[in-house]
Amino acid sequence: ANTVIGAGVVMGQDCIIDSNVTLAYSLLGDRVAICAGARVGQDGFGFAPGPDKHLKVPQLGRVIIEDDVEIGANTAIDRGSGPDTVIGAGTKIDNLVQIAHNVTLGRNCFVAAQVGISGSTKIGNFVIFGGQAGLAGHLHIGDGARIGAKSGVMSDIEIGATVGGFPARPLKEWLRGIAVLRRIALKKVK
């Protein structure tokens, strides 16, 4: 009900598209599942400052969703502005996730609810995102990286690294910082 399969959409075998989904300019592999309310292939946030007003940058790319991907309810995946936005095979995306234009998300990633990935970020395979993590644009996230919930990622992350906090840094370093702040706060109270 109320699903729109728009221009430039090609779907593979055994796809499941729920109600209130909008698809445009997308290539879906086999066994892709898209939950209710998702928007895939819409224009990204592409603007350039002009002397008198902001100018819209044409969004000409597609969204390529490989086999066995699941996309949660009310998630938005923007089409590429030139290069395509790519979601790798086996990746699982929770509800309310925003994936901006030109993002490449590797194979078998887990993306928890309310994660936001800014444009042109390149993400490796088997990366795990905790809920509400946010990534700046044009980053490189290595294979197997783990990003803690509510982390603010503002720089590249190495292969296999585990990070947390804002700005995101190695998890043990962030946890030590929290412990030090707690000890300082408790001393001030006494």
Catalytic, 54? Answer: no
In terms of DSSP H, where are the helices of the chain? 171-189
In angstroms, how far is CA 31 from the centroid of its own chain?
A: 20
Question: Coil, strand, or helix at residue 140?
Answer: strand
C-beta separation of 92 from 110 below 8 A: yes
Q: For residue 140, which amino acid is it? A: H
Residue at token pair 């979601």: 87
Question: Coil, strand, or helix at residue 33?
Answer: strand
Task: Give which of 47, 54, 88 is closest to 71, Cα–Cα.
Answer: 88
Token digits for 121?
């970020």
Q: Which residues are catalytic?
A: 101
